[in-house]
């Protein structure tokens, strides 16, 4: 589950930063409901994987427990990959640096879960360290950039869907138009110059 989200999310983040995809967020009208539905289906699939007695449901009649487990595992792999794509594609390009730290944290949690499954304490501890450090870095970056951490983690949840530029946006504040000559004069008269990347 976490690995599928992390992998496809990382591919989308790379594609947006490399210019292979538009940096504008994917704005589907039912974005939040779609994400919630996928998480719900994944939760049901996980329950079916953990409890094979769910094979007694009417639409699963005739399947043995192993077939139910295998199909729920396959469904989780595909659906978590789709969810990872949709979550990251729903976030704009300027927030990709924060998204990468979230995905880094997710990879740590996937490693931690793998450590528990394999009964390997070192793997679980290293995964928890990566997960927590990624989460702390995400929080610090969201604070510094003035972004909502929930909107970044949940793929822009709660933000209104853009209407593709049908209305004009008003610019607030004062606009100062400068020229190269004014800039050169200011630079030559300055005693100290600080260049901030």
The pLDDT tens digits of the residues spanning 33-61 come to: 888 899 999 888 888 778 766 655 555 56
- Kindly report whether the global pTM for this prediction surpasses the value 0.85: no
Confidence of residue 166 (pLDDT cuts 50, 70, 90): very low
CA dist., res. 99 & res. 146, Å (int): 14
- Pair of tokens at residue 102: 């979230």
Contact between 81 and 61 (Cβ < 8 Å) = no
Exposed e or buried b for every residue in 92-123, given b needs 16+ CB within 10 A?
bbebbebbbbbbbbbbbbbbbbebeeeeeeeb
CA dist., res. 93 & res. 82, Å (int): 19
**pLDDT value at position 62?**
63
CA dist., res. 65 & res. 43, Å (int): 17
């Amino acid at each position: 589950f976490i690995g599928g989200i992390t992998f496809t999310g990382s591919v989308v983040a790379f594609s947006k930063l490399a210019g292979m995809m538009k940096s504008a967020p994917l704005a589907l009208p039912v974005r939040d409901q779609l994400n919630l539905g996928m998480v719900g289906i994944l939760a049901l699939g996980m329950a079916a994987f953990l409890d094979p007695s769910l094979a007694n449901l009417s639409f699963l009649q005739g399947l043995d427990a192993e077939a139910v487990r295998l199909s729920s595992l396959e469904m989780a792999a595909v659906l978590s990959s789709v969810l990872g794509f949709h979550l990251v594609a729903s976030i704009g390009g300027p927030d990709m640096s924060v998204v990468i730290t979230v995905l880094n944290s997710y990879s740590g949690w996937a490693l931690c879960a793998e450590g528990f499954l394999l009964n390997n304490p070192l793997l679980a501890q290293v995964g928890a360290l990566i997960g927590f450090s990624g989460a702390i870095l995400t929080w610090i970056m969201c604070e510094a950039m003035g972004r909502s951490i929930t909107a970044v983690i949940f793929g822009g949840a709660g933000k209104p869907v853009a209407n593709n530029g049908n209305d004009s946006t008003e610019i607030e504040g004062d606009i100062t138009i400068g020229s190269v000559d004014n800039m050169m004069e200011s630079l030559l008269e300055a005693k100290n110059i600080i260049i901030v990347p």
